[in-house]
Amino acid sequence: MYTGGCQMQVLEGLAYLHHSYRPPILSAVPDLSGLGRGKADITEVLKKLREDRPLTEFMVKRGAEIRQG
């Protein structure tokens, strides 16, 4: 999907890629029977993530650090 220079959409995509490629490290196996059965729509979840200013600021800062090498 082309983001058209939308910084928030780029950040959401980067966050997804980061968390989807790294395997979870768990000390115990959680109960996953309810996974995907939540009542929140994915767009609501993304909106909440977008509104999380500390998270957004961290991702912007970390992205700049990564680009600088």
DSSP string, 10-51: HHHHHHHHHHHHSPP--SS----TTTT--SS-HHHHHHHHHH
Radius of gyration of the CA atoms of the chain, in A: 15
pLDDT tens for the chain, 69 residues long, are 455 667 777 777 777 777 676 666 777 877 878 877 888 888 888 888 888 988 888 888 888 888 887
The Cα–Cα gap between 45 and 49 comes to: 6
Domain ranges of the chain: 39-69
